[in-house]
Structures are given as C-alpha cells and as structure tokens.
Chain A
Amino acid sequence: MVRDSLVVAGKDLRVEWRSRILTNQVAPFTLLVVVLFGFALDADTATLRDTAAGLYWVAVLLVAVLAVQRSAAVETADDAHQRMLLSGLEPAAIFLGKAAALFVQLLALEVLLGAAVIVLFDVSVGNVALLLCTAVVATAAIAAAGTIYGVLAVGLGVRETLLPILLLPVLAPVLISATRAFGDAFGRVDADGWAWLGLLGSFAIVYIVFGLLAYGVLLEES
C-alpha cells in the first residue's frame, strides 16, 4: 500500500512540476495576500507583528483551498474523473498518496509565505523548533482534511464553489491551534505552544485515520 501511495504521490508531484500551476499562480497569490494584509492593517508594524501568526495561517488556509482544488482537478481534467477508480488501487493508498503530495506542495508554499511574513511584518522567531513542528503537523492536518473534502464534489461539477464552505469551517480548530502555537514561537502571546501542537496532532490523526477509512466511500461515483 505504501508503494502504491508513493506512486500516486509521485505522479501528483510530477504533474505539478510540469504544469507549474502552484509556482506560477498560487505562489504569487500567497505573496499578494500578505501584501493585502499589510494594506488592510494600515502599515502599522506593531499591529502586524502582533497579528502575524493569525494572518499567516489565514493565508495558508486560502492557499490550501486553491491547492486542494488543483489536486482534485488533476484527476478530473480531460473528463476522466473515474481515472483513479479504474486504477484499481486501494482507496486508502490513493488517499495517502494524494494527501502526501498535497502536504509537500503546501509545505513549500508555507516556506515562501513564512519568509514573506518574517521580512514584511518584521517578525522574529524565538522558538524555531516549535515553529517547524507546528508547520509540519498543521500541514499534515490540512492535507488530510483537504484530500477528503477535495474528492467530495468530484463528478458533480460544482467543486469550485462548494469546497471553501465545506472545508474552511472544519479547519477552524487548525487555524486556532496553529495561530496560538506560532504566536508562542514568535514570542507574541503567552500560550503553551507545545500543548497546542498536541491538539493539532490529534486533529491530524483523526483526519488521517478517517480518510484512510472513508476515502473508498467518497471515491465511488455510482
């Protein structure tokens, strides 16, 4: 199963590598979001520094919606939405593969976004280990939930409008937890970042397990 999921993940990453949708369209969008936050908050560096953690994760969620849509679109282009079904692979393996590819893509975008936030909002990172662990665990949670929701509308032709209203409320705990943990890592709020990381971890585990179990039910189109 791990082998099959690596095949799927490798294929998704290769599609991305060739099409450059994330690098050419989504990455600039992430920078744009950061700049817009700067405008909206009146170029007040103190405010930006205090809210940087929250703004960062709001931006990540917006980017995640686009990345999830893209991940689902890879399978539905050319009117071939039963492609993954015909592969005959275990749905759990497909889930792991697509989630892993999404995880890698999101992490790459987060590095870019993080650099932009640190530079533009003048944030200093106090606790690098906490920052990195939070990013990894939160991204795993987003990738797992995103992969589950991404397949929901496949074959129904309403993906673009349906996905955000389904996915974003579910990710609210990720937003809260990751923001707190980042706030701690930035030294801006008095919170126990590691405890929040634990909560993020349980969210990620719940969604990964749920995805492994339920992906087959979601994938079938008839």
Chain B
Amino acid sequence: MTATAATAPAVGNDPAGTGSRGTRVLGAFIAAGIPTLLLFAFALSPEDDSMRDAVRLLYIHVPVAILTYVAFGLTAVASAGYLWKRTRWWDTLAHASAEIGVVFCGLTLVTGSIWGRPTWNTWWEWGDVRLVTTLVLFLVFVGYLAFRRVPADPEVRARRAAVLGIIGAINIPIVNRSVEWWENSTLHQRSSLTDGNLEDLTLFTWFLGTVVLGAAFLWLLVHRFRLAWLEDEVERQGLASALDERRAEARSGVEQAVGGPVEGALDPRGDPR
C-alpha cells in the first residue's frame, strides 16, 4: 500500500494536524486565487449580451458543477478500488470525496437556481435535464452520507457503502437519459465554450474559476481524507488497548480455572456486544 504512505500524514510527529507543506502551499494559492477570481468575475470581465450580469455567477456555477461530477466519479472509482483492494485508503477516499461532492452539488443547485431566476425567469425548471439529474444525484449521495453515519462494523459499512457509491454513479446516465426524454425542451445553455463567441477575458475568468475551485476541491479533499484517517488511527490505538484488556481477563480466568471451575460472570462488560 504505497499510496497510503504517500498520503498519510506523519502521525507520530504531528498527530493533531491535517496540514502539510503541500496543503499550505495549496491553501496560499487558493487564498490568493479567490480574490483574484472575484475581481475578474465582477469587475474586469464584460457582461454578457443576453445574460447581462447574471453571467458572472457562471464563473462559480460551472466549475462547481464540473467538480461535483468529478467528486462523485472519484467516489465511484474509490468504491470500486475498495472492493478490489479492501484497504481503508480507498474507503476513506470514497467517503471524503462524497462529502465534498455533496457540498459542491448543493452549491451547484443553489447557484444554478439563483442564476436561473433572472435568466429563465424561474427558480426551478423541471424540464431541464441537467438540473433534475443533479437534484436526483444530490439526493442519492445525501442518502450515501446518511448510510455512512450508521453505527456498524467499520468493514461491513465500508463494503456496503462502496456498493452504494457505485450504484450512485451507475445511476447518473440513466437519470440523465430519462430526464432528457422527459421534457425535450431544455433551457440549459449548450456548452458556451464551444460556441466560440466568448470574449478572451470571459474565457480566462472561467478558466481561472475552474483552476481556483479545483484547487479548493483538492485542498478540502486532502484535509478531509487526513482527518478521517487520523480518526481511524485513534480508534485503532483503542483496539490495541482493548486487546490488552481482553487478554488480562484471560489471565484472571486462568487463576480462577486453577482454583476451581470457572462459573458466573467475570467480565464486567457483560455481553461483548
């Protein structure tokens, strides 16, 4: 498991933190990138001929939407990786990616809705394929996170969650297709990038938004991953002491056995469950 060594924080030296030089550099980049993005989005880039100022929201909306699909795709890949390798590295990655995916998915829906109000003159448009697909996806992965919160044997939960994560991804094309046929009249922008009528500055701002938000996604992912990893590490330390405690019970059990037949409840915990 070489990947583990590469990504896992040095627990011995800095057990309380999830930062590293890499994430601090990334964080500094994001800290500088977001004001720059806002500057370009609100001041420097021109307003759109048809969308007017609403176009500025797309510098957030489109990257966030793309990253949502990246995040859920990553969850599905990591879930498959878990079922294949059965190591907690993959499981932790799937979980971390899904959590950030749900946040980004929520942001996609909210920014899209706010953008739709002035542009389409409605908060919500049932006929739009991507909108409805994204909503269903949001609900599916909210369910996934709910399942991950269920108290259970960690390995059983990881296995079942992996199946859930894969189903969630399989579902994307089916939902997309069904909504597409459902209302053929989509309001959604055909990819504005391919139209070729975007101004250079608009294109640059959009590109900047993708890079900055992509960095933010990565930064969140690394921190969330390391946090989950450390949590697990703590529980694993608990296991070592639990094992010692359990063996101590055996020692007192021997003393009893030597003295006479062992009867009655020695174990103060009672039923191990």
Q: Footprint of B on A, CB under 8 Å? A: 148, 152-153, 155-156, 158, 162, 165-166, 168-170, 172-173, 176-177, 180, 195-196, 199, 202-203, 206, 210, 214, 217-218, 220-222
Contact of A162 among B83, B147, B155, B159 (CB under 8 A): B147
Known: A152-B160, A217-B83. A176 touches B150 (CB 8 A): no
Q: Is B175 an interface residue (CB 8 A)?
A: yes
- Whether B178 lies near A177 (C-beta < 8 A) is yes
**B159 contacts A158, C-beta separation under 8 Å:** no
Residues of B close to A158: CB separation below 8 A = 150
Contact assessment for A195 and B181 in the assembled complex, using a CB-CB cutoff below 8 Å: yes
29 A-B residue pairings within 8 Å (CB atoms): A152-B147, A152-B160, A152-B163, A153-B147, A155-B152, A156-B151, A156-B152, A162-B146, A162-B147, A165-B142, A165-B143, A165-B146, A166-B143, A169-B139, A170-B167, A170-B171, A172-B178, A173-B171, A173-B175, A173-B178, A177-B178, A180-B181, A202-B174, A203-B174, A206-B174, A217-B83, A218-B160, A220-B156, A221-B153
Q: If the complex has contacts A166-B147, A221-B156, are A172 and B136 also in contact, measured as CB distance less than 8 A?
A: yes
Q: Known contacts A156-B150, A172-B175, A202-B174: does B163 contact A218 (CB below 8 Å)?
A: yes
Interface residues of chain B, those whose CB is within 8 Å of chain A, are: 83, 136, 139-140, 142-144, 146-147, 150-153, 155-156, 159-160, 162-164, 166-168, 170-171, 174-175, 177-179, 181-182
Docked pose: A134 CA to B140 CA in angstroms: 25
**Which B residues are in CB contact (< 8 Å) with A222?**
153, 155-156
**Distance (Å) between the CB of A193 and the closest chain B CB?**
11
- Chain B residues lying within 8 Å of A217, measured Cβ to Cβ, are 83, 159-160, 162-163
Report the minimum CB–CB distance from A167 to chain B (whole Å).
8
Provide the main secondary structure of the chain A interface. helix
How far apart sit A59 and B74, CA to CA, in the bound complex (Å)? 35
Across the interface, name the chain A residue whose C-beta is closest to B140. A169
* Complex Cα spacing A169 to B136, Å: 6
Tell me which of A152, A165, A166, A199 contacts B178 (CB under 8 A): A199
Which B-chain residue is minimally distant from A215 (CB atoms)? B163
A196, B181: Cβ atoms closer than 8 Å: yes
For A170, list chain B residues within 8 Å (CB): 140, 167-168, 171
The answer to whether residues A176 and B142 also contact, given A153-B150, A170-B171, A210-B170 and a CB cut-off of 8 A, is no
Q: How far is the CB of B120 from chain A (nearest CB, A)?
A: 21
Q: Across chains A and B, which 9 residue pairs bring their CB atoms closest together, nearest first?
A: A169-B139, A173-B178, A166-B143, A169-B140, A176-B178, A165-B143, A173-B174, A172-B136, A214-B163
